[in-house]
């Protein structure tokens, strides 16, 4: 009998990708406040539920009885960071608190929580799981609070957990015909591809960072590698106690690196507009993956910039062919 995996945020980018990736190996159940999207595998059972609806959520979890819950739901649009602090508390902290309480009571064996590199201090260098935790934006702060909720509530429970700190997740899963689903789209690479094809201006925030070309550096990880990392963490919890892992590529690319590579592949030049750097943006965010490599036996395979962009271009063309329109925030 296949193990049951319940995915919160199952209609989002990572949730839908994970659902399709897992659909041949596990019995997948997705949960989201939105209806099932057109990209999810038809055999996936989907429940419409807001995580803040405690009674409905408890009934679903009690009925499904999953072997593991992968918690991907939440507010993550960085543009809203200082404008809608209450949204981050409600959709990230409070929702996680409710979910954890139910999971603990039902004694669900495994819990995977998607955290973020945004929790780390802005200081330079390669970030380890033991690096200083100090976020100044509402998104990062909400994830820090969520991590604390897990650690406190599951300490003496029958639930084991993995906290996975994602760096910059990007690209598409070609073999499952799924990719970035943000609407509006706020991620750099899909915005850049759209701008190049339709001759729109591309805005970059800050050109005077203390970096090689003045633009900030980020660690981009291919969606495929994130999915294998989640799977490895579920398997890890079969015989191991709770733990925290970084999931990134271990490599850094500047905004200009990304732009120049996209220009080269699409064979068009970008019209770049420089804006002031955003108050809470770090100059460099780079992942140390040595712990994930050693303990999870996980390494990123597809997370080189060329492959990430190639698969993102494929997804852009696939959506265009299907006449699916997305909004882009430039």
Q: Are residues 93 and 206 in the same domain?
A: no
C-alpha–C-alpha distance, residues 320 and 301, integer Å: 28
Is there a domain that residue 48 lies in? Answer: yes
Share of the chain above pLDDT 70, in %: 97
CA 329 from chain centre, in angstroms, equals 19
The mean per-residue pLDDT over the stretch 291-299 comes to: 97
Summary mean pLDDT of the chain? 93
> The domain spanning residue 16 has which CATH number?
3.40.50.720
- pLDDT grade, residue 81 (50/70/90)? very low
Is there a domain that residue 329 lies in? Answer: no
Q: Are residues 227 and 297 in the same domain?
A: no
Nearest to 10 by CA among 72, 60, 90: 72
Q: Are residues 142 and 261 in the same domain?
A: no
Q: Are residues 94 and 161 in the same domain?
A: yes
Catalytic residue among 13, 26, 120, 139: 139
Q: Are residues 231 and 204 in the same domain?
A: no
Q: Which of 139-143, 180-184, 317-321 has the lowest mean pLDDT?
A: 180-184
Q: Are residues 241 and 255 in the same domain?
A: no
Q: Are residues 146 and 239 in the same domain?
A: yes
Q: Are residues 225 and 261 in the same domain?
A: no
> The domain spanning residue 281 has which CATH number?
3.90.25.10
> Which of 201, 229, 247 is the last residue in one of the domains?
247
Residues 1-15: tens digit of each pLDDT: 899 999 999 999 999
In the predicted structure, residue 80 carries a pLDDT above the cut 70: no
- pLDDT grade, residue 121 (50/70/90)? confident
225 strand-pairing partners: none
pLDDT of residue 192: 96
- Per the structure, the count of domains in the chain is 2
Q: How do 253-254 and 217-218 pair as beta strands?
A: antiparallel
The mean per-residue pLDDT over the stretch 297-305 comes to: 97
pLDDT of residue 309: 98
Q: What are the φ/ψ torsions at residue 95 (nearest 5 degrees)? A: -60, -40
Is there a domain that residue 106 lies in? Answer: yes
Domain that holds residue 204: 174-218+251-321
**Residues 316, 193: contact at Cβ < 8 Å?**
yes
Q: Are residues 71 and 151 in the same domain?
A: yes
Residues 240-251: tens digit of each pLDDT: 899 999 999 999
**119, two tokens:** 């929790």
Cα separation values, 43 from 13, 19, 24, 30, 269, Å = 18, 10, 10, 11, 43
Residues 20-29: tens digit of each pLDDT: 999 999 999 9
Give Dmax over CA atoms of the chain in angstroms.
57
Q: Are residues 105 and 203 in the same domain?
A: no
Is there a domain that residue 237 lies in? Answer: yes
pLDDT of residue 225: 98
209 is catalytic: no
Is there a domain that residue 97 lies in? Answer: yes
Is there a domain that residue 196 lies in? Answer: yes
The mean per-residue pLDDT over the stretch 291-311 comes to: 97
Q: Are residues 206 and 306 in the same domain?
A: yes
The mean per-residue pLDDT over the stretch 23-48 comes to: 96
Is there a domain that residue 133 lies in? Answer: yes
Is there a domain that residue 195 lies in? Answer: yes
Q: Are residues 111 and 69 in the same domain?
A: yes
pTM score: 0.96
């Amino acid at each position: 009998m296949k193990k049951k995996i319940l995915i919160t945020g199952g209609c989002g980018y990572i949730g839908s990708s994970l659902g399709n990736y897992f659909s041949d190996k596990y019995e997948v159940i997705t949960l989201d406040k939105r209806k099932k999207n057109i990209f999810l595998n038809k055999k996936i059972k989907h429940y419409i539920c807001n995580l803040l609806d405690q009674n409905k959520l408890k009934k679903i979890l009690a009925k499904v009885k999953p072997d593991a819950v992968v918690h991907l739901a939440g507010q993550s649009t960085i543009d809203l960071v200082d404008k809608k602090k209450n949204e981050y508390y409600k959709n990230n902290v409070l929702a996680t608190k409710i979910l954890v309480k139910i999971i603990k009571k039902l004694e669900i064996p495994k819990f995977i929580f998607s955290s973020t590199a945004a929790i780390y201090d802005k200081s330079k260098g390669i970030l380890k799981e033991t690096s200083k935790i100090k976020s100044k934006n509402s998104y990062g702060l909400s994830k820090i609070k969520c991590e604390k909720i897990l650690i406190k509530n599951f300490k003496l429970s029958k639930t084991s957990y993995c906290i996975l700190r994602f760096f910059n997740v990007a690209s598409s899963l070609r073999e499952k015909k799924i990719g970035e689903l943000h609407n509006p789209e706020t991620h750099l690479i899909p915005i850049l591809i759209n701008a190049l094809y339709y001759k729109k201006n591309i805005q970059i925030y800050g050109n005077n960072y203390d970096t090689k070309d003045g633009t900030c550096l980020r660690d981009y990880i291919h969606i495929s590698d994130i999915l294998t990392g989640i799977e490895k963490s579920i398997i890890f919890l079969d015989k191991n106690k709770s733990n925290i892992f970084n999931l990134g590529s271990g490599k850094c690319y500047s905004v200009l690196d990304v732009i120049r590579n996209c220009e080269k592949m699409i064979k068009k030049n970008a019209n770049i507009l420089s804006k002031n750097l955003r108050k809470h943006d770090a100059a460099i965010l780079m992942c140390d993956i040595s712990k994930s490599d050693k303990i999870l036996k996980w390494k990123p395979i597809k997370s080189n910039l060329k492959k990430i962009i190639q698969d993102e271009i494929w997804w852009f063309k696939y959506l265009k062919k299907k006449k699916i329109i997305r909004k882009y925030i430039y």
